[in-house]
Amino acid sequence: MRVLILGADGYLGWPTALLFSSLGHEVTAVDNYFRRHTCDRLDVGMLYPVPTFNQRAQIWHELSGYEIKTVICDLAEPKCMRSLFNGRVKYQWAIDSSFDGPPDVVIHYAEQPSAPYSMLTYETADETLINNLRVTNNLMFAIRDLSPSTHLVKLGTMGEYGTPNIDIEEGWLDIQHKGRSDRFLFPRQASSLYHTTKILDTDLLWFGVRMWDLKVTDLMQGPVYGIETDQTIINPRLKTIFNYDEFFGTIINRFIVQAVIEHPLTVYGKGGQTRGYLNIKDTLQCVEKAALTPPKPGEMLIYNQIMETFSVNELAEMVVSVGRKLGYNTQIQNVPNPRIEAEDHYYNPNYQALVSLGVKPHYLTEDVLIRMFEIVAEHADTIKRDVILGKSKW
Ligand code: USQ
């Protein structure tokens, strides 16, 4: 397949590009360096440096023989987006820079992914809204106008549903009302502006599916943890970006870093907040299965992309237990919750569909945590203690 990956320099985008390339697909990878530039601007650091986007593609080619064509441009600009479909694309790095045709599948990660960043200031809220919605709209129109049979795989988030007091279904809810029934998008209620953009994306794409028979799969993903995938371990220069700051570090990744530098684990509020989690390896499996299982034209498939659920307290206890076994003085500190979110709530999402498609879950075991500790410990000297506690408050 011709696979176009948008946001391909990021934590999930780069390993996704490696996976599809390793399977022999023709991969074009696009990014605008938002993550790297924003980390520099906020001065939050990363666990280790990674080569530039083009260098990564070259290194991959030297090691595997496969080609990932790179494009550096801002997908919020319609010209940039449309060039990927109409052949006017300018590759930054490619062995063969001819255009092979529009993609069979697009994997869309090209969004500002941080809830705390979206809630930092008016400017970061606006940037999040404009970037995320414009990129999705540009993509929807590029597909509609230039390649209507392309399958769009969109990364959404479990946070779209919030924490309702009923079971969370996979995307849809059958409603009975006054003797009649119909199926609707499951009710959505986010608790950050970032998560709200994901709801708006879902609505936008559902509109495109109904109006123009687009083919969309929307993946409701939970917070991801982990560092290694089957391809990134081939060589240290293929590692994915790893953040541990309040903006771009997800909770499990942050807790491991905190434990390694013996900073108390930052449990926000009461710690009863429960979410569905998954290993980065399972993100790749899910995206691959979704890409290989396209909907029919005019159909939107929605999957809940999580493998198990934990409360913040449960995660903290697991990290403390492993940290202490490894000889770290690991403590927990309940800090005032910077977010407005339920700290004690019902949570029962369904998430069987991706497993039914063949995804084999990697669970959060002690061994998985120990391996993460080992990798983080190799970089302990570079960890910035001052970015652990945050500035963003709702
Ligand atoms: N939390 C803590 N302490 C911390 C960091 C987080 O208690 O130091 C809590 C948060 O308050 C929240 C939970 O842990 O209740 C998860 O927080 P997170 O920062 O790991 O995840 P979140 O902000 O929800 O966002 C992340 C990704 C986002 C993705 C989302 C999936 O950044 O891109 O969409 O996970 S989900 O949470 O299911 O919406």
Ligand 1 atom closest to residue 249's alpha carbon, by position in its atom list:
19
From residue 282, alpha-carbon distances to 47, 84, 198, 318, 327 in Å are: 22, 28, 21, 20, 29
Burial of 37 (0-12, 13-18, 19+ CB in 10 A): exposed
Residues tagged active-site: 157, 194, 198
Tokens linked to 233: 């371990």
Contact in structure between 253 and 225 (CB atoms under 8 Å):
yes
Smallest CA separation from ligand 1 atom 39, residue = 159
Query: Among 112, 132, 157, which is best to mutate for testing ligand 1, by the most ligand atoms less than 8 A from CB?
Result: 157
How far, in Å, CA of 312 to CA of 265, rounded?
Answer: 10
How far, in Å, CA of 313 to CA of 336, rounded?
Answer: 14
Ligand 1 atom closest to residue 224's alpha carbon, by position in its atom list:
35
Q: How many residues does the chain have?
A: 394
> Helices in the chain by DSSP H: which ranges?
13-22, 34-42, 53-64, 78-86, 115-118, 122-146, 193-212, 251-260, 280-292, 312-325, 353-356, 366-378
Cα 193 to ligand 1 centre (Å): 13
Q: Minimal CA–CA distance to 116: which of 353, 342, 339? A: 339
pLDDT for res 299: 98
pLDDT for res 390: 85
Q: Minimal CA–CA distance to 126: which of 33, 204, 196? A: 196
pLDDT for res 368: 98
pLDDT for res 19: 98
How far, in Å, CA of 149 to CA of 104, rounded?
Answer: 7
Cα 246 to ligand 1 centre (Å): 9
How far, in Å, CA of 46 to CA of 72, rounded?
Answer: 21
- 3-class SS at 30? strand
- b/e per residue 219-233 (b: at least 16 CB within 10 A): bbbbbbbbbbbebbe
- 3-class SS at 156? strand
How far, in Å, CA of 177 to CA of 275, rounded?
Answer: 30
Beta bridge partners of residue 204, listed in sequence order: none
Q: Minimal CA–CA distance to 1: which of 100, 88, 84? A: 100
Cα 250 to ligand 1 centre (Å): 6
How far, in Å, CA of 193 to CA of 114, rounded?
Answer: 9
Ligand 1 atom closest to residue 339's alpha carbon, by position in its atom list:
11
What does the pLDDT profile of the chain (394 residues) look like in tens digits?
Answer: 999 999 999 999 999 999 999 999 999 999 999 999 999 999 999 999 999 999 999 999 999 999 999 999 999 999 999 999 999 999 999 999 999 899 999 999 999 999 999 999 999 999 999 999 999 999 999 999 999 999 999 999 999 999 999 999 999 999 999 999 999 999 999 999 999 999 999 999 999 999 999 999 999 999 999 999 999 999 999 999 999 999 999 999 999 999 999 999 999 999 999 999 999 999 999 999 999 999 999 999 999 999 999 999 999 999 999 999 999 999 999 999 999 999 999 999 999 999 999 999 999 999 999 999 999 999 999 999 999 998 899 9
- Domain 2-236+278-306+348-359 in this protein, CATH class: alpha beta
Contact in structure between 112 and 92 (CB atoms under 8 Å):
no
How far, in Å, CA of 283 to CA of 281, rounded?
Answer: 5
Radius of gyration for the chain, computed over Cα atoms and rounded to the nearest angstrom: 20
Place of tokens 């009863």: 272
How far, in Å, CA of 330 to CA of 326, rounded?
Answer: 10
How far, in Å, CA of 275 to CA of 222, rounded?
Answer: 7
Give ligand 1 pocket residues (Cβ under 6 A): 113-115, 157-159, 195, 221-223, 250-251, 254, 266-268, 273, 275, 312, 339, 341
